[in-house]
Chain A
């Protein structure tokens, strides 16, 4: 099983600042990686797949990068609606796995 490790667990950021979230895979997942955003009481929402392709409706301030084992989600200028938990997810091989999540909170 591929283990996905996200860091940091919690990220405190002021509105308008840049946020950088990291995700590491225990073995290569190529570019078969997605990022999801989840707000309290809601289902996750796809932001990025293919490591760097924004999903329909994802604002341009969200960008993904990386391949192999190291990935990054960057939010260029945090808006109030961006405070949430973010999960990375590998779909390169079964079983599919998620990272433990990064909570982005207001500083």
Chain B
């Protein structure tokens, strides 16, 4: 069975400092992995996805993530945080389904950015 564990429920950074949101996954298959962002009372927006191509994946708004099979990790990083990055971030693994894409969500990490 597929699962994801987001290691921090909250992360606080200052504007201009690096961001690291940690995610470990478990999968019986070669997984597809995603990071989604959710601003308050909004839907989810895809930041980036890994689907067995390059292990370093670049996404929108300066975010990137590195797939490390040996560590079963898919951590999300950004060199310099901006106030607008404050949101909830979800690490997601795609589970094989019978003809549809079943997503398994982590519990989320709330990113707080202070001036």
Asked if A pairs with B, the answer is no
Which chain A residues have a beta carbon within 8 Å of chain B's beta carbons? none
